[in-house]
Structures are given as C-alpha cells and as structure tokens.
Chain A
Amino acid sequence: MPGKPKSSITKVTGSGSSPAGEVAAGPSRVAVRKTYKLYIGGAFPRSESGRSYPVTGSDGTLLAHAAQASRKDVRDAVVAARKAFPGWSGATAYNRGQVLYRIAEMMEGRREQFAAEVRAAEGGSPEQASAQVDAAIDRWVWYAGWTDKWAQVAGGSNPVAGPYFNFSLPEASGVVGIVAPPESSLLGFVSVVAPAVATGNTVVVIAAPQRPLPAVSLAEALATSDLPGGVINLLTGSVGELAPWLAGHRDVNCLDLTGVAPADRVALAVAAADTVKRVFAPTGFDPAAEPGTARLAAFTETKTVWHPMGV
C-alpha cells in the first residue's frame, strides 16, 4: 500500500475544501482523520485485498484514500446481503418504513458534514451542496412512505372466472447489485439504493469511484439507523473490476446499471443473462426529478395466489 505523499497532507490540511472535521479543527490542533472503509454486513472492514486508492476533490486535492474492494469483497458483500434478505423482506412494511425514516433522521443531524463532503467531492457552491443533501434526506422520507403503499398500488385481486379467490402482490426480487451514478455523490447514491431496499430487497452497491466518500459517510448513518446489517452493503473501488463479478454472481437477482456508461453495459448485461437477472439500465438519470415508480417496479416480482372458495 502506497503511503501518502507528505506534500499532499500539507495541502489537505491547508485546504478550505477538505472534509468538515478538519476544517473545524483549529490551527493549534492536529485533526483526527477518518479512514474510509467498506460497509459489509453491518461492519466497516478494509478491503480484504489490503488495497486502497487516492480520492481527490474537485480541485484535485487529495481528500483521502478509499478502500479498493476486490472480487472477494464482492462475494462477501453478496453473502451478507443474501443472509439479510429473509429478515428484511419478511419485516413488516411499516417497520421498513420506520427504518428508512430513521435514516433520514440520522442524516438530518449530520447535514453540515454531508454538505462539506459533497462540496469537497463535487465542487460548486455551499448552497448547491446543501440542496443536494436536503434532497437526499427527503428522498429517504419519500421512500419511507412508499414501503407500505407499493403492494396496494401494484397488487390487487383478480376476478378469475371460477370459484377462486385470487390475488397478486409485489415481492422483493432478492439481492440487487447496483452501480451508483457518478454524477451525484450523495443524492444519486440514495436515489438508486433507497427504492431497492424500500420493497425489501437487500443491496450490494458500488459507489461512484471518483466520489465515494459521501457514500461511505452515509454508511455511518445507516449503521446507526436500525437498518439490519447486510441490507445495504457498500463497496468502493473500480467499477470495471468489481461490476463483472457482481453481474456474474449466481446469488444476485437483479442488476442496476444506472452508474455504468452505455458502452460498458453490454458485457455486464450479457453476464447477467447467465442467471436470468433482472437488468435495469435506464437511459438518462436525473436524481433531482421525482423518482416515480419505475425503480420500485424494477426490483419486485409479482406473486399470484389462488385459493378455492367453497363450504
């Protein structure tokens, strides 16, 4: 693992765009820096590979070294997601809604930190960064409200021509592999993760490689939000290296390629066909727009149950 060049460290501490914790620290105090790690099964491990990679801000300054996840980390994350699936998909929709709302509460208390990290990653004005954080928090609230509505909107009873009671319900598809969009480090990330978990899926998500730090800090909010470990598993590193393992993994049910450039989607979609994965690859992605229901639909299956009526 390469050590940090000394010049970079000086640059970071002297830079106004460095993470919030360091800004708050006065010149007389040496700041306690954060190690940005993975989030797998409710824990924060480093990559099993021992690798990391430098993450720079919009102005080119070194922000931190993020963990560079490996194939083994992908597999560990899928195992954690699969393990968490029965509990999370089996929880009541009300309970899932409260957990999602709790995530919003946890983020609300750390708005300043998230805004500073978003700004460090993406540049722009403080107002723009704050607006993104607020929208990300509100997105959790939006999906918190969806958890116990989706079955009513997407399901229903079917008037079959016979003495049967017949109804259809949406159910979570299982483990969803997601590549988060690069454009929006926090709102974009929340916009792809929240709809998948709202309906009871568990998730393995690869954060945007150039701007992963706000997502890692979000994982800290997740860890304190009553979200069961393993429901959301976060990997940082190279999409080109990690995504193929996710696409080909036999225990992954769905693949969300929002964060993958169209030219790179084909190979992943081909790999996904080996296990008939549901592939969601939207053209165009505007995290600022109202999300609609496409993402809820993309990762739910319709189950139809028949029972005879009689005495």
Chain B
Amino acid sequence: MTVFEYAPAPESREIARLKPHYGIFVDGRFSDGRGEAIKTINPATEEPLTEVAEASADDVDDAVTAARQAFEPWAALPGSVRAKYLFRIARAMQERARELAVLESLDNGKPIRESRDVDVPTAAAHFFYYAGWADKLGYAGFGPQPRPIGVAGQVIPWNFPLLMAAWKIAPALATGNTVVLKPAETTPLTAITLAEIIAECDLPPGVVNVLPGGPAVGQAIVDHPGIDKIAFTGSTSVGKMIQRSVAASGKRVSLELGGKAANIVFDDAPLDQAVEGIVNGIFFNQGHVCCAGSRLLVQESIHDELIGALHHRLRTLRLGDPLDKNTDIGAINSAAQLARIRELADSGVAEGAERWSPDCALPDRGFWFPPTLFTGVSQANRIAREEIFGPVLSVLTFRTPAEAVEKANNTPYGLSAGIWTEKGSRILWMANRLRAGVVWANTFNRFDPSSPFGGYKESGFGREGGRHGLAAYLESENYLAR
C-alpha cells in the first residue's frame, strides 16, 4: 500500500508575538513581580521562550488589597454592565484567537490543532456564556438577589492554561466577585496575555489580578486572610492540602481534582467510533487531562478485536512539533511530569502488565512520551489506580454490566466515565450507577460552557460551567446545587 507522507504545516511562532519579558498584573498595571524571575521554556525543544518575573508574598498582599478595594464597586455595578465587560473579553479573545493558540502551544506543548480548535474557542465561549448570566442572576434559582462572595483566590493547572483561567474568571466576575488568579508555574503566558486583554477591555483596576508563580505563591493566596473563596484545579494531593488549610478560616472552597476515569466498551459498541473515542479519551492533550479515560474496560469477548483496532489506529498517530497542524500528540509539559509518567509506566511493566507502543520516533530534544497501551492490567496495579496524567492507557476486561460498574467505581476518584454501546437502556442503566460527575456515552472529552463539570468523591466538589457553576461564586445559604 502506498503511504503518502504528510508535508509539514507548521504555524509560525511569530504569531504568538512573544515578548522578551512578562510580569505580574495587579490593580490594572503590569509590573515586575518581586519574586524570582524564571525562564519559561518550550517543552517541545527545551529552549527558553521568555522570562517571567514571578510574584512574591508582598505581591499577593497587593493583589488582594487591590481586589478587595475593587470588590464593592464591581459588585454594585448593574449586572448588565458587568455583562458587557465579559462580552467584550469574549470578543477580544476571539480576535486574538490565533495568537493565543500559538502562544498556548509554545508554552504548553499541546498540538496547535487542539489549542486552536478546543482551548481558545472554548475559553472565549465561557466568557460569552457567563456574560449573559451577569444580569440574570435572580433567575438562576439562588434566591431573588444572590450576593457575590468577595475576593476569589484561584489557582489553576498547566494542562489547559487559558481555558482554566476562563473557567475560573468568567463565573467569578459575572456574579460580582473580584479575582486573584495564579497560573501554573510552567504555563503562565496565556493567562498574562488574558490579563492584557482584560486591561484593554477597560475593566476597573483590581477586578482581575494575575500572579504568575510557583507553589509558594499559591499557598500565600490560599492562606491570605483577605480572600473569601478559593477555587482550585489540580492534583488531589494539593487539593487535600488546600481543604485542610481553609478548614479553620471559613473560606468557601471549590476543588476540581484528579481522576482515573473508566472508559467502558461493550461488545455491541460501534467499534470504529469507540476506537476514536478511546484515542480522544486518553491521547487528547497527551493525556494531561484530569477527566482522561485512562482505564479502558473492555467486554472480554471483544478484547482482542478492540486491541487490534487500537494498535492499527495508534500507528497512525503523529507525534511531534506542537505547532504543526498535522500533529496529534505534542510534548509532555515538563521534565518533572515526564519523569512521573516514566516511573508509573515502568511500574506497570514491573507489576506484570504488557506494554505496547507503536513505532514512533521521538524528537531528540524536548519532553516526549509515546502513546502507550498496557494490557493484562489488574485492578491492583498502580497504573490502574493512580492518575498518570500522560498518554498511557491501562486495559482491563469485564464480562457483565454489573462487573463493569463495580470496576469503574473501584477508585477513590469520580470525575468522569465513558460508555460505548448501541443499547440505549444500557447506557442509562450504566450512567445511573457510575459514580462520576460527567458521563460521556458514545463520546468522550466533550466540554461546553453550559455543561456543569466536576467530580464525585476525591475528584473534588463544586461545579464549573452552566447554571450550576454560578453557585461556587454566590453567597447563599439556600444554594441549589454544589
């Protein structure tokens, strides 16, 4: 069979308009943070992209003060005025969508196809969605005049840097809160650029403050007495630390933490669609997805056929330059994350599972991990229990629907799950029993601003997106849904 090679189709990095230096955004002004200046690198090449002046504890103080001063006037604005600011932000993001997408792929390592088609448009859509709520809060089911909480401290991860910033900022502002946001240490650039957009949209100073930095800055935000609410997306271990930290303070908190989702394939599933869904479930964003379908539960009778089809499909995945529009799998975000993925994958081999990857040339420089499949995995294996946060799929089998439910729920996590079957009644039966906040049936990894997202059990609490997402930012004894 003749194989046609792909011609490279790279996006130009010039589009990102990288500056030599980025700083913090406090009280409407950009300045150098008083923390250490760090080089942020391109994980696909390990080359420095630019320098970022990180925030210090004093900067956190200043940001909280600015947010506190901005809070009352911002909350007192008519909702329709806050709405207009948010609509503006959404539009401005759309105008600069290509720039943001390239910048995101440079800083994060994710394929441009994803940052262009998912991250950036969904982030803009999130602002557009919550803009419309700002003057309709009395109709949202939280009482006739729901009140904002105050200053929200928001700490976000590196896997969807811009999208997570949008998930955090948009509902907070729509409900009248002000914000101190800390982007992840390895991916601060799009959040700072979003701050630039927010400044251009003439939001009042102090309504949004952005503080790049590491865990110390995050801790300072969590512990700061001037903050009323903490919203965190990240690992379960850090989430538990935050929940402990705020236990005494009376701060409100919402947590979106880790996952170990089961993607369940029945023998009557449309196999080609299921294969696409499995690939999207675990290899989307290199598996750096908290809701990734990292445990594949296959009905025993189709195990061999499905694994064969997956092998075939995985051989066609293209790994490489994140800026190339043909790329399916980009770079792992950091050396630390790569080390963690390697360590867990090695444990899979050591514990007796069978490892497979397609022939896949990895670039010489940068952080890379090939798409990897483990078969013969037992529920006790670490690769079936721990969140790998990488392009590694653990395959287990089941015989009956009840066994599938049992195995799917056999985890402290409960963020998402997938079901593949042509039988509608079985979908609903399964969906009813899976202890997970999002259930994708005959699809996977879909996101929408109107769709509530968040976990059961140790995957956290609170919802982001939709009407439910408002509750996390409203002061209300009578809130309707967490």
Q: Which of B433, B439, B450 contacts A305 (CB 8 A)?
A: B439
Quick check: A153 and B141 within 8 Å, CB to CB?
Answer: yes
Q: Tell me if A303 and B436 are in contact (CB < 8 A).
A: yes
Contact with A161, one of B247, B448, B459 (Cβ below 8 angstroms)? B448
A304 part of interface (Cβ distance < 8 Å): yes
Residues of chain B with a CB closer than 8 A to A237's CB: none
Docked complex Cα distance between A274 and B476 (Å): 26
Specify which chain B residues have a CB less than 8 angstroms from the CB of A303 in the assembled complex. 431, 436-439, 456
The segment from A32-40, A59-67, A112-120, A275-283 that touches chain B is A275-283
Q: With A and B bound together, what is the CA distance between A279 and B468 in angstroms?
A: 18
Inside 8 A of A292's CB, which chain B residues have their CB?
477-478
B427 and A160 contact, CB distance less than 8 A = no
CB–CB A160/B450 < 8 A: yes
A244-281 contacts to B (CB < 8 Å): 253, 266, 269-270, 272-276, 278-279
Task: Give the interface centre of A154, A173, A266, A272 by most chain B CB atoms within 10 Å.
Answer: A154
Taking a contact as CB atoms under 8 Å apart, the answer to whether A162 and B446 are in contact is: yes
| A294 located at the interface, meaning its Cβ lies under 8 Å from any Cβ of chain B in the complex | yes
B466 touches A276 (CB 8 A): no
Main secondary structure of the interface of A (DSSP, over half): mixed
Q: Does B460 contact A (CB under 8 A)?
A: yes
For the complex, count residues of B whose C-beta is within 8 A of A. Answer: 50
Q: Would A276 and B255 count as touching, CB distance under 8 A?
A: yes
List CB contacts (< 8 Å) of B23-69 with chain A: none
Q: Determine if B452 and A298 form an interchain contact, defined as CB atoms under 8 angstroms apart.
A: no
Contact of B442 among A168, A174, A307 (CB under 8 A): A307
Hey, which chain A residues are within 8 Å of B446, CB to CB?
160, 162, 164, 306
Report A234 CB to chain B, min CB distance, Å: 25
Cβ–Cβ contact B441 & A297, under 8 A: no
Q: Quick check: B431 and A293 within 8 Å, CB to CB?
A: no
Chain A residues, CB < 8 A from B347: none
A162 to B448, CA, bound (A): 9
Q: Among the listed stretches B82-90, B236-244, B299-307, B313-321, which one makes contact with chain A, having 4 or more residues with CB under 8 Å of it?
A: B236-244
B335 at the interface (CB under 8 A from A): no
Against A, the Cβ 8 Å flags (1 = close, 0 = not) of B130-141 are 000000000001
Residues of A within 8 A of B482 (CB): 278, 297-298, 300-302
Query: Do the beta carbons of B442 and A308 come within 8 Å of each other?
Result: yes
Leading 4 A-B pairs by shortest Cβ distance = A269-B247, A273-B243, A160-B448, A292-B478
User: Could you name 17 residue pairs across A and B whose Cβ atoms are closer than 8 Å?
Assistant: A160-B451, A166-B448, A166-B451, A173-B456, A273-B240, A273-B244, A275-B457, A275-B458, A276-B458, A293-B479, A300-B481, A302-B454, A302-B463, A303-B436, A307-B427, A307-B442, A308-B443
